């Protein structure tokens, strides 16, 4: 069980370029990105074969303990492979993640076994906990992903505006006929408030508005459950959900699901990379600001920001960080 985070003042520092150069606070403004075209089949991506250096940087037991978001599991595995030379099977068995909110808490509280995070942006509640803890964190963007909405493939609606998505999730729009679809109730799945995808939903779509109360069976704690839930409505075509692009395209691609566009722009690697898809967001390598220079955690972070590490991000199937 996690220890409660101690109350105090805190500063969140985003380090957006070279290691050790703090810049602005963790971003809260909307960024544009690109993603797959609505209706296009999701790629079934897996990390590329490992290409470890002839002399690995770390012995397996010397690598820092890495925690993070569910959607970063393939990247964490590939980092372990590239830096230690172990097989994919060995690396996969090593990866243990707490999920976005608890990974941040573990780093702040200095839980044993958490030295470095590969993680998505935290929700506002977790950010407040970090500020109150008095612990300063460094955030280094290493890749880009995006919030995506998805529906049943049988649903004729392929794209909505941000205003329409907001109206659905705040309960003002309840029937697909109100947004150009068939006369059917919108079954809108949700994620828990602290989840990474929920943080992106609030950042880009809902803001501080009150969310419509969903039945408990429509609030899914597991990222895969929301995808399975929406796909199970394939015959009626009236379910709606949201996740991050990488997870939906590469980790949990299922039949009967279509990613939706935003005002006609579909999510894809291309639209996320070029900024045309509007719900794009960085993910980060995160360490405590008091992490010693030259420590294993800082060495891995520096490697991730270097060309070799950015190539690992690409080889794992993610969009690299913007230059």
Contacts of 31 (CB under 8 A, 6+ apart): 275, 280, 281, 282
- In this prediction, residues 267-281 reach a mean pLDDT of 96
Token reading at 273: 């990379």
- The CATH number covering residue 63 comes to 3.40.190.10
Report whether 120 contacts 91 (CB < 8 A).
no
C-alpha to C-alpha distance for 270 and 224, rounded to whole angstroms: 24
Same domain, 252 and 135: no
- E-strand ranges in 17-175 read 31-33, 66-68, 116-119, 137-152, 159-160
Task: Please give the structure tokens belonging to residue 237.
Answer: 């075509």
Asked whether residue 76 is assigned to any structural domain, the reply reads yes
Cα–Cα distance between 82 and 78 in angstroms, integer? 6
Contact 186, 168 (CB under 8 A): yes
Which pLDDT band holds residue 171 (cuts at 50, 70, 90)? Answer: very high
Question: What range defines the domain where residue 82 resides?
Answer: 12-30+47-144+283-320
For residue 234, the model assigns a pLDDT of: 55
Mean pLDDT of the chain: 83
Task: Specify whether 268 is located in the same domain as 168.
Answer: yes
Question: Looking at the chain, how many residues does it have?
Answer: 323
Q: What is the pLDDT, as a whole number, of residue 215?
A: 73
Examine residue 7 and state whether it is found in any structural domain, yes or no.
Answer: no
> In this predicted structure, what is the pLDDT of residue 51?
53
For residue 33, what pLDDT is reported?
A: 28
Task: Determine, yes or no, domain membership for 167.
Answer: yes
């Amino acid at each position: 069980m996690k220890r409660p985070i101690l109350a105090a003042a805190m500063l969140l520092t985003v380090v957006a370029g070279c290691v050790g150069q703090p810049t602005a606070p963790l971003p809260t403004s909307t960024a544009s990105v690109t993603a797959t075209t609505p209706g296009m089949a999701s790629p079934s991506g897996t990390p590329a074969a490992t290409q470890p250096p002839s002399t690995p940087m770390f012995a397996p037991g010397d690598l820092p303990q890495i925690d993070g978001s569910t959607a970063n599991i393939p990247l964490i595995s590939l980092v372990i492979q590239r830096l230690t030379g172990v097989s994919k099977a060995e690396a996969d068995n090593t990866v243990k993640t707490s999920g976005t909110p608890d990974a941040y808490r573990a780093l702040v509280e200095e839980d044993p076994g958490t030295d470095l995070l590969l993680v998505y942006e935290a929700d506002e509640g977790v950010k407040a906990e970090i500020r109150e803890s008095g612990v300063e964190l460094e955030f280094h963007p290493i890749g880009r992903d995006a919030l995506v909405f998805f529906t049943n493939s049988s649903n004729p609606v392929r794209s909505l505006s941000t205003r329409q998505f907001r109206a659905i999730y705040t309960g003002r729009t309840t029937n697909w006929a109100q947004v150009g679809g068939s006369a059917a109730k919108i079954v809108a799945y949700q994620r828990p408030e602290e989840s990474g995808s929920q943080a992106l939903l609030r950042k880009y779509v809902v803001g501080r508005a009150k969310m419509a109360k969903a039945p408990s069976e429509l609030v899914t704690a597991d990222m895969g459950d929301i995808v399975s839930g929406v796909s199970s409505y394939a015959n009626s075509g009236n379910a709606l959900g949201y996740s991050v692009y990488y997870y939906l395209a590469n980790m949990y691609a299922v039949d009967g699901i279509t990613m939706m566009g935003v005002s006609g722009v579909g999510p894809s690697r291309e639209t996320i990379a070029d900024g045309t898809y509007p719900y794009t967001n960085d993910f980060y390598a995160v360490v405590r600001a008091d992490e010693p220079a030259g420590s294993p955690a800082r060495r891995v972070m520096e490697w991730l920001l270097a060309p070799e590490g950015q190539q690992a991000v690409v080889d794992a199937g993610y969009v690299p960080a913007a230059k």
